[in-house]
């Protein structure tokens, strides 16, 4: 209630004691709300970040190329060369400090000036032009920048990139399947990432890591260990990167110091002096204060995303857990107030938003078309000892999420059965404001998923979810996503006896003409063979790519951070982490379930239509088959309605995919696993598939995550959740479920209560994750019509939120189509 | 009862209705027979509601038998409630109270909660707007109160019909005397108008506006001042 209204109300009820008492309470709330609004500094930092234009910066590419051309670079081993390149960049890159900043450190020469990584993927001048001019997720680049790429960067890196190595090493079958849209490949433009920092930086400085390196070096066995020399080189490389980040912080300290000297404003001067001290102390030494801890993490973050362009970027993970000891201690001794803690967190938030994901092109841009770099702050969950981890800071971080309303960082809550209802209710009050954050994860499921994979219970409890929905043991696991897997395309290929109907190419084995199938099981057998065939191709490719990264692209800085790379003296990209997992992400479960169900129901069980006719209709994109299409859409059982007849197919397909992938070994000593999430690939994957037998027209998006196909869950949210819970989530490393609600549903406490219980119910059935879009279709349609009026409109896409305006038109349409539930 | 504002007119008769529905797909028009209402067995209902048991457990929710008027089928309801209770579900009946007292006596022990409509206290008006006297309804309400059943009163807010001062005061007075303290205000909406059209029935409240929020809030305050716990929408 705003103050004016309140005063009016006050005049109306003068003299009435009860009403007056009630008013007193309201006034208090107004005051309390005032306290929690962001201050001027944060408001302006936030605005600047929102206004900054995404552009390409040639700085990193130039420095990297210069170093690679230098004499020193030719004399050293590859890991050392990578480390020295990292150091060279941090020594020479521009230092940028925002006018009112509290947390410093920038990857580019200014906010949203985004580097490229030519050692991984080299952008041609044409690529830069496309990036500059494309309507969505553009990166501006001037003539100057393009000239630098043309003159310096491209001549040196042409033919030498990881991307070149990858494509030249792939077999013909891989290339054909990739081109056809059977799967995508994450590492063709970005280095392996997908890891989250644990708690070690909060008790150790880089000086301590160097000490660990020294001890490991001393323990190397040059008599019996044939790997000893490689280990030595890797450890030396790690040490160089440790020095590099300390040096980088000192450069910031020096600049801050000179800024302090010339600063006229007394308060800011004092602040700059403090920040100077902080940057001299961390990351060399362990942090002592809340501010030091945040600044330390941020230097580490910038380091990781400067060394390489890992996908996902990087992530502090369990921020409320890591920072709580500092918060508590400083509140007690009076050196920190809640307001200051919040201001620091908000300044920290802005830093993430200043760092968009590096530019993606081609298929990779289609599968993940967003500025988001998938940092996902985890709040809540369980402590390592298995008890409720929600603390005061968890709530403070949720306040920050609510007030900042920015794209990055993403945020989520971990909800264990042990966490209080007040916690989920608080989170839902943010969800209802409609910007797609925080998403909600089931801690108890995540812990079981991770322990099933062989992690210790402590490591599992210290974990959480990152990226979109991926489970990981934070600080100890390299869990690399390798590519989306188009389950629907493979079904289309199966229905064409191994051929891709778009090109006529024989991509898979001949598993029989479906017109000759005598029963539904014959179709399932054929489909399973095709899934296995393409999973094998993908895995063979992955194994080569993994090896290419282990061999040519060590990441010594990242290796310092993830246990046990130092003590194993082995690089992150070569299996140095305690746990190593490679994921393949299944896409289109809802669509596949609906198509198979349609065949089972209409062709085999009800015999409403012959296989020949239904395939004919689809091949004509249902032109002239309107009635059949109407039947397929409205009179055929669909996944998402708690109807076992349809849901059985989702379970069958899930298990086929699981069997084809799960448990197979990877070259770095890890294991292949599955998860079920699409980012935006369900739109791309849909675009390469003709009309499907569930009535979907050619080229239209597929279902996303494990959500029912857009609009086909008609029995309400409980039924949709029941259907989604029928697959065994614990066999995955994450599933994604999207539900859209209109804001009305959240209007009162009762709505919040019902939604909280809906989530608890889903999690009781081991559901992994759920997220909500809270907007009306009307608003979205308006936003399509008048984008200029809705520039701040953020919606949940799939595992992440994005500005509605930045989505492609198809994606916008799809978000509008997603079922709106008006009530329970 | 045949309330003029009824938004489920299809359930006023104990029959299954068929209507024609137009659906447009890709510019093509499809006419389909849609059945409204369907005959189901007790077991089918039990199976359906059991599907959501996990959510009832979490929320303390359960099964609400609603309608139309569920007590139009007293024997079926009694037997259904028995089975639901056996399964351990929380049970609730949403009723207008217009049923034989003998029926109420039978189902009383089987239902945990009654959502009970009170519309108009003046019987002449009640007859005019609903087609029946309110005598039976008020008698059954007393019966529930005497047996200490949990009751939430549902009061439809129909401008020009139920929300006049006399009726409001009478409702408040009656409920207070009965010792009831919870009221859900159900704001009138005209969304059912199309249904009447489709079913070839006459909609008689075309002139009645939907109540605005201000009016609802003031009604809420009115009842709250009398010590009631009031929810808008229910």
ipTM: 0.84
Pairing assessment for the beta strands B28-36 and B17-25 based on DSSP bridges = antiparallel
A447-461, A695-709, A785-799, B50-64: least confident range: A785-799
> Are B55 and A627 in contact (CB < 8 Å)?
no
pLDDT at residue A18 above 60?
no
> Are B59 and A753 in contact (CB < 8 Å)?
yes
The answer to whether residue A575 sits within a structural domain is yes
Judged by DSSP in three states, A403 sits in: helix
The answer to whether residue A543 sits within a structural domain is yes
Residue A803's DSSP bridge partners are A794
- From residue A501, how far is each of A238, A256, A489 by CA, in Å? 50, 62, 10
Average pLDDT of chain A, as a whole number: 91
User: Which has more pLDDT, A816 or A304?
Assistant: A304
Rg of chain B over Cα atoms, rounded to whole angstroms, equals 19
A187-223: burial string, b at 16+ Cβ within 10 Å, e else: bbbbbbbbbbbbbbbbebbbebbbebbeebeeeeeee
C-alpha A214: how far from chain center? 35
- Residue A123 DSSP one-character state: P
Residue B154's DSSP bridge partners are B117, B184
> Are A757 and B23 in contact (CB < 8 Å)?
no
Nearest in space to A106 (alpha carbons), one of A316, A383, A315, A355? A355
Strands (E), chain B: 17-25, 28-36, 62-65, 90-95, 113-117, 150-157, 182-187, 229-232
CATH dotted code for B42-113: 3.80.30.10
Average of pLDDT values for A104-128?
Answer: 97
Give me the pLDDT at residue A33, please. 38
Query: For the residues of A694-705, what is the DSSP string, one character each?
Result: TSPPTT-----T
A97-101, A111-115, A819-823: least confident range: A819-823
A781-809: burial string, b at 16+ Cβ within 10 Å, e else: eebbeeeeebeebbbbbbbbbbbbbbbbe
State the Cα–Cα distance between residues B167 and B165, nearest whole angstrom: 6
State the Cα–Cα distance between residues A24 and A10, nearest whole angstrom: 10
State the Cα–Cα distance between residues B8 and B3, nearest whole angstrom: 10
The number of folded domains in chain A is 2
B28, B32, B54 member nearest A765 (Cβ): B54
> Are B58 and A764 in contact (CB < 8 Å)?
yes
As a whole-number percent, the residues of chain B with pLDDT over 90 amount to 66
User: Is-contact A356 A52, C-beta < 8 A?
Assistant: no
The total number of residues shown for chain A amounts to 824
The answer to whether residue A682 sits within a structural domain is yes
Residue A439's DSSP bridge partners are A412
The band of B204, judged by pLDDT with boundaries at 50, 70 and 90, is: confident
The band of A811, judged by pLDDT with boundaries at 50, 70 and 90, is: confident
Give me the pLDDT at residue A822, please. 40
Q: Which two tokens stand for residue A710?
A: 């857009």
Domain of residue A683 covers: 478-733
Q: In Å, how far is A718's CA from the nearest CA of chain B?
A: 7
A52-56, A775-779, B213-217: least confident range: A775-779
Residue B185's DSSP bridge partners are B155, B232
Query: H helices of A139-191, where?
Result: 143-148, 154-157, 162-169, 172-180
Residue A327's DSSP bridge partners are none
State the Cα–Cα distance between residues A429 and A437, nearest whole angstrom: 10
The answer to whether residue A654 sits within a structural domain is yes
A506-559 confidence digits (pLDDT tens):
999 999 999 999 999 999 999 999 999 999 999 999 999 999 999 999 999 999
Q: In Å, how far is A630's CA from the nearest CA of chain B?
A: 7
For chain B, the structural domain boundaries read 42-113, 118-125+148-234
C-alpha A276: how far from chain center? 33
State the Cα–Cα distance between residues A338 and A345, nearest whole angstrom: 11
pLDDT at residue A221 above 50?
yes
A630, A754, A760 member nearest B25 (Cβ): A630
| Residue that is written with structure tokens 């609730």 in the block | B92
A16-30, A80-94, A666-680: least confident range: A16-30
The band of A169, judged by pLDDT with boundaries at 50, 70 and 90, is: very high
pLDDT at residue A754 above 50?
yes
Which residues of A are known catalytic residues?
468, 470
pLDDT at residue A12 above 60?
no
Give me the pLDDT at residue A207, please. 98
Assess A444–B contact: CB distance below 8 Å, yes or no. no
Q: In Å, how far is B216's CA from the nearest CA of chain A?
A: 15
User: Is-contact A187 A265, C-beta < 8 A?
Assistant: no
Query: For the residues of A644-708, what is the DSSP string, one character each?
Result: HHHHHHHHHHHHHHHHHHTT-B-TTS-EEEEEB--TTHHHHHHHTS---TTSPPTT-----TTSP
> Are A722 and B52 in contact (CB < 8 Å)?
yes
The answer to whether residue A153 sits within a structural domain is no
* Optimal mutation site among A643, A761, A763, A764, interface B, most CBs of chain B within 10 A: A761
Assess A107–B contact: CB distance below 8 Å, yes or no. no
State the Cα–Cα distance between residues A647 and A640, nearest whole angstrom: 7
Question: Is the backbone of residue A77 left (phi > 0), alpha (psi -120 to 50) or beta?
Answer: beta
pLDDT at residue A2 above 50?
no
pLDDT at residue A325 above 60?
yes
pLDDT at residue A794 above 90?
no
A629, A750, A761 member nearest B58 (Cβ): A761
Contact list, A761 vs chain B (CB under 8 Å): 54-55, 57-59
Closest chain A CA to residue B25? A630
Q: In Å, how far is A421's CA from the nearest CA of chain B?
A: 11
> Is-cis flag, bond preceding A312, omega within 30?
yes
Give me the pLDDT at residue B234, please. 63
* Optimal mutation site among B55, B64, B230, interface A, most CBs of chain A within 10 A: B55
> Are A626 and B28 in contact (CB < 8 Å)?
yes
Residue A672's DSSP bridge partners are A582
- From residue A208, how far is each of A65, A80, A215, A326, A398 by CA, in Å? 31, 20, 11, 20, 33
> Are A765 and B59 in contact (CB < 8 Å)?
no
Q: Is the dihedral of CA B83, B86, B90, B91 positive or negative?
A: positive
Give me the pLDDT at residue A369, please. 80
Of A733, A749, A774, the position where a domain reaches its end is: A733
Residue A583's DSSP bridge partners are A481, A673
Q: Is the dihedral of CA A759, A761, A764, A767 positive or negative?
A: negative
Give me the pLDDT at residue A458, please. 98
Query: Phi, psi (5° rounding) for residue A344?
Result: -65, -40
Contact list, A633 vs chain B (CB under 8 Å): 25
A613-627, B5-19, B62-76: least confident range: B5-19
pLDDT at residue A19 above 60?
no
> Are A757 and B54 in contact (CB < 8 Å)?
no
Assess A156–B contact: CB distance below 8 Å, yes or no. no
CATH dotted code for B118-125+148-234: 3.20.20.70
Helix axes A172-180, A520-552, angle to 10 degrees: 110
State the Cα–Cα distance between residues A406 and A398, nearest whole angstrom: 13
The answer to whether residue A824 sits within a structural domain is no
> Are B26 and A626 in contact (CB < 8 Å)?
yes
Of A686, A710, A733, the position where a domain reaches its end is: A733
pLDDT at residue A226 above 50?
yes
User: Could you tell me which residues come within 8 angstroms of residue A53 by beta carbon, excluding any fewer than 6 positions away?
Assistant: A112, A140
Pairing assessment for the beta strands A439-442 and A769-774 based on DSSP bridges = antiparallel
A134-138, A217-221, A576-580: least confident range: A134-138
Instruction: Tell me the helices (H) and strands (E) count for chain A, helix number first.
Output: 35, 15
The answer to whether residue A471 sits within a structural domain is no
Nearest in space to A141 (alpha carbons), one of A47, A48, A52, A53? A53
As a whole-number percent, the residues of chain A with pLDDT over 70 amount to 92
Assess A634–B contact: CB distance below 8 Å, yes or no. yes
């Amino acid at each position: 209630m705003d103050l004016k209204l309140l005063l009016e109300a006050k005049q109306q009820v003068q003299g009435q004691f009860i009403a007056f008492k009630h008013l007193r309470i309201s006034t208090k709330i107004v005051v309390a709300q005032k306290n929690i609004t962001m201050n001027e500094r944060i408001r302006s930092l936030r605005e600047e970040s929102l206004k900054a234009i995404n552009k390409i910066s040639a700085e990193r590419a130039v420095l990297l190329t210069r170093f690679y051309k230098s004499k020193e670079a030719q004399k050293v081993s590859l890991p050392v060369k990578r480390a020295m390149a990292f150091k060279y960049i941090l020594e020479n890159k521009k230092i940028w400090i925002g006018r009112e900043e509290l947390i410093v450190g920038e990857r580019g020469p200014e906010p949203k000036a985004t580097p490229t990584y030519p050692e991984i993927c080299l952008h041609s001048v044409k690529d830069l032009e496309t990036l500059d001019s494309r309507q969505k997720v553009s990166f501006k680049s001037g003539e100057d920048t393009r000239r630098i790429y043309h003159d310096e960067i491209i001549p040196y890196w042409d033919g030498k990139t990881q991307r070149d190595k990858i494509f030249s090493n792939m077999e013909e079958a891989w290339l054909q399947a990739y081109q056809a849209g059977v799967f995508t490949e994450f590492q063709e433009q970005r280095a392996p990432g997908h890891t989250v920092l644990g708690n070690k930086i909060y008790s150790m400085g880089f000086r301590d890591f160097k000490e660990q390196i020294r001890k490991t070096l001393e323990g190397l066995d040059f008599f019996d260990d044939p790997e000893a020399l490689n280990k030595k080189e890797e450890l030396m490389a790690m040490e160089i990167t440790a020095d590099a980040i300390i040096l980088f912080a000192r450069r910031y300290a020096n600049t801050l110091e000179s800024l302090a000297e010339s600063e006229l404003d007394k308060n800011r001067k004092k602040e700059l002096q403090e920040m100077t001290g902080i940057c001299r102390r961390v990351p060399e030494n362990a942090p002592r204060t809340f501010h030091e801890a945040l600044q330390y993490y941020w230097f580490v973050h910038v380091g990781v995303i400067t060394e390489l362009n890992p996908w996902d970027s990087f992530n502090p993970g369990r921020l409320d857990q890591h920072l709580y000891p500092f918060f508590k201690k400083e509140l007690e001794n009076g050196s920190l107030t809640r307001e200051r803690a919040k201001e620091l967190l908000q300044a920290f938030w802005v830093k993430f938003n200043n760092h968009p994901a590096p530019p993606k092109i081609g298929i990779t841009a289609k599968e993940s078309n967003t500025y988001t770099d998938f940092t996902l702050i985890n709040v809540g969950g369980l402590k390592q000892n298995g008890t409720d981890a929600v603390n005061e800071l968890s709530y403070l971080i949720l306040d920050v999420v609510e007030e900042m309303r920015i794209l990055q960082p993403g945020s989520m809550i971990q909800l264990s059965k042990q966490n209080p209802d007040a916690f989920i209710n608080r989170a839902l009050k943010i969800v209802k404001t409609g910007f797609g954050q925080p998403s909600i994860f089931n801690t108890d499921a995540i812990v079981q998923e991770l322990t099933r994979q062989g992690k210790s219970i402590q490591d599992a409890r210290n974990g959480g979810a990152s990226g979109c929905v991926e489970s990981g043991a934070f600080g100890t696991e390299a869990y690399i996503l390798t590519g989306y897997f188009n389950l629907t395309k493979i079904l289309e290929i199966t229905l064409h006896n191994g051929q891709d109907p778009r090109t006529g190419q024989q991509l898979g084995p001949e598993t029989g003409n479906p017109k000759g199938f005598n029963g539904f099981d014959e179709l399932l057998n054929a489909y399973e063979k095709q899934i296995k065939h393409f999973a094998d191709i993908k895995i063979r490719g992955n194994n080569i790519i993994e090896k290419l990264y282990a061999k040519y692209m060590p990441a010594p800085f990242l290796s310092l951070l993830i246990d046990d790379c130092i003590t194993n003296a082995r690089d992150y990209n070569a299996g140095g982490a305690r746990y190593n997992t490679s994921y393949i992400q299944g896409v289109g479960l809802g669509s596949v379930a609906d198509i198979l169900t349609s065949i089972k129901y209409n062709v085999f069980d009800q015999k409403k239509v012959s296989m020949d006719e239904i395939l004919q209709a689809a091949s004509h994109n249902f032109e002239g088959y309107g009635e059949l299409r109407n039947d397929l859409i409205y009179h055929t059982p669909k996944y998402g309605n708690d109807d076992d007849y349809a849901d059985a197919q989702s379970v069958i397909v899930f298990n086929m995919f699981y069997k084809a992938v799960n448990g197979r070994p990877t070259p770095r000593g890890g294991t292949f696993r599955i998860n079920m999430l699409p980012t935006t690939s369900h739109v791309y994957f849909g675009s390469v598939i003709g009309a499907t037998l569930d009535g979907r027209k050619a080229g239209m998006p597929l279902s996303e995550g494990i959500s029912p196909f857009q609009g086909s869950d008609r029995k309400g949210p409980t039924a949709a959740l029941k259907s989604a819970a029928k697959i065994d989530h614990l066999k995955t490393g994450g599933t994604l479920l999207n539900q859209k609600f209109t804001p009305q549903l959240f209007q009162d406490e009762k709505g919040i209560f019902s939604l909280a219980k809906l989530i608890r119910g889903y999690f009781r059935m081991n559901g992994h994750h759920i997220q909500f879009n809270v907007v009306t279709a009307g608003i979205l349609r308006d936003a399509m019509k008048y984008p200029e009026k809705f520039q701040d409109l953020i919606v949940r896409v799939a595992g992440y939120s994005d500005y509605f305006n930045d989505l492609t038109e198809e994606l916008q349409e799809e978000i509008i189509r997603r079922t709106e539930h008006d009530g329970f | 009862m045949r309330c003029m504002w009824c938004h489920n007119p299809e359930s006023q008769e104990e029959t299954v209705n068929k209507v024609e529905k137009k659906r447009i797909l890709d510019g093509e028009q499809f006419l389909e027979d849609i059945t409204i209402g369907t005959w189901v067995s007790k077991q089918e209902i039990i199976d359906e509601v059991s599907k959501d048991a996990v959510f009832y457990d979490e929320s303390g929710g359960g099964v609400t038998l609603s309608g139309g008027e569920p007590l139009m089928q007293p024997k079926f309801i009694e037997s259904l409630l028995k089975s639901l209770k056996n399964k351990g579900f929380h049970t609730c009946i949403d009723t207008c109270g217009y049923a034989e007292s003998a029926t109420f006596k039978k189902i009383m022990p089987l239902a945990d909660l009654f959502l009970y409509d009170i519309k108009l206290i003046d019987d002449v008006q009640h007859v005019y707007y609903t087609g029946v006297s309110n005598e039976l309804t008020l008698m059954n309400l007393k019966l529930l109160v005497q047996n200490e059943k949990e009751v939430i009163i549902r009061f439809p807010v129909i401008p020009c019909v139920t929300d006049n001062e006399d009726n409001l005061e009478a409702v408040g007075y009656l409920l207070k005397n009965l010792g009831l303290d919870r009221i859900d205000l159900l704001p009138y909406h005209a969304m059912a108008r199309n249904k009447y059209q489709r079913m070839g029935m006459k909609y008689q409240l075309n002139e009645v506006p939907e109540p605005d929020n201000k009016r609802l809030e003031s009604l809420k305050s009115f009842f709250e001042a009398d010590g009631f716990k009031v929810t808008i929408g229910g």
